[in-house]
Amino acid sequence: MAENLLTLEKICKAYNLGTAAQAEVLHDIDLTICKGDFLALIGPSGSGKSTLLNIVGLLDRPTSGRLTIKGNHTSELDDAALTRLRGHSIGFVFQYHYLISAFTALENVMMPMLVDQHFPTKEAEDHAMELLRQVGLTAVADNPAMNMSGGQQQRVAIARALTMNPDLVLADEPTGNLDTKSANVVFELMRDVNRQNGTTFLIVTHNMELARRCDRIIEVVDGRIHTDSTEILAMSSSLAKQALSHKGPRHGE
């Protein structure tokens, strides 16, 4: 049985609470994500996918409901504790890579470790080089990010997301700006990291071809979970079992 990484219970989110502009964006989201899951989050634009990712990533707090990450009830944590939990548990990859363009690939990947201050520079550099090797970019480690292709930049962003060895990587349309071939390389890279390191991935995508290659697809519509492929599979297997158990002996048997 897979171990729980995080649980959302009745998570609601409203923006501009108590003002005329109040907008209820997420409604009663219940979701459990297990260690090692590789999930796609799909749904129409404006359905609340990024809002959900921001809440799971501890970048924003829900209006109500309970979010538990690695056994921590996040509503009980102050901002400093949330920052620590985020820093050591969660990596982010966005549609736009947010690299520092004048810095080299290596410097960009080293950055979170240097900010953390627990890493001596040499150790940070060695670890960053190892991550660049994992994403296939050793040869361009010293190139400034601005001289790299979109696909390479996104691979640097993935290496950077992995620096603190997170349990979970949240990727918000990570292939949205890429051509089909680069999108495929970036997707396969995330899949490899998932298989090799056991890192959990939650990937927002509009690309159904990529979504179908994930282990589980969650569809959000109007701030609610509309479908969860795990439930569909569970339902279809219980329906299959029911069908089998109701099948009486055939005539002549």
d(C-alpha 3, C-alpha 15), whole Å: 32
Cβ neighbours of residue 70 closer than 8 Å, sequence gap 6 or more: 5, 6, 85, 89, 167
- Total interface residues for ligand ADP by CB under 6 A: 12
d(CA 62, CA 64): 5
Q: Smaller CB distance to Mg ion: residue 146 or 208? A: 208
Q: Which one of 11, 33, 47, 203 is in contact with ligand ADP (CB under 6 A)?
A: 47
Asked if residue 23 binds ligand ADP (CB under 6 A), the reply is yes
**Residue ranges in 133-192 that form contacts with ligand ADP under rule CB under 6 A:** none
Measured CA to CA, the distance from residue 60 to residue 12 in angstroms comes to 12
57 lies in the site for ligand ADP, by CB under 6 A: no
Q: What SS3 class is residue 172?
A: strand
| Sole window of 32-40, 48-56, 82-90, 209-217 interacting with Mg ion (rule: CB under 5 A) | 48-56
Nearest distance from C-beta of residue 26 to ligand ADP, angstroms: 8
User: Could you give the 3-state DSSP secondary structure of residue 23?
Assistant: strand
Based on CB atoms, which residue is closest to ligand ADP, 46 or 198?
Answer: 46
Is residue 49 within the footprint of ligand ADP (CB under 6 A)? yes
Q: Helices (DSSP H) in the chain: which residue ranges?
A: 49-56, 79-89, 105-116, 121-134, 150-161, 180-197, 208-211, 229-246
Q: Are 141 and 63 in contact (CB under 8 A)?
A: no
Answer yes or no whether residue 74 interacts with Mg ion by CB under 5 A: no
Q: How far is CA 160 from CA 123, 129, 214, in A?
A: 15, 11, 22
- Binds 25, which of Mg ion, ligand ADP, none (CB < 5 to 8 A, cut-off by type)? ligand ADP
Site for ligand ADP contains 25 (CB under 6 A): yes
φ and ψ of 28, to 5 deg: 45, 55
- Binding test (CB under 6 A) with ligand ADP, winner from 19, 45, 117, 180: 45
Following DSSP, what letter does each residue of 216-246 receive, concatenated? EEEEEETTEEEEEHHHHHHHHHHHHHHHHHH
Q: Which of 50, 153, 175, 182 binds Mg ion (CB under 5 A)?
A: 50
Tell me the site size for Mg ion, rule CB under 5 A. Answer: 1
- Is the Cβ of residue 47 or residue 199 nearer to ligand ADP in the bound state? 47
Determine, following the binding rule CB under 6 A, whether residue 46 of this chain makes contact with ligand ADP: yes
Region for residue 71 given its phi and psi (left: phi exceeds 0; alpha: psi -120 to 50; beta: otherwise): left
CB of 173 to ligand ADP, least distance (A): 8
205 is a site residue for Mg ion (CB under 5 A): no
Residues in contact with Mg ion by the rule CB under 5 A: 50
Residues in contact with ligand ADP by the rule CB under 6 A: 15-16, 23, 25, 43, 45-51
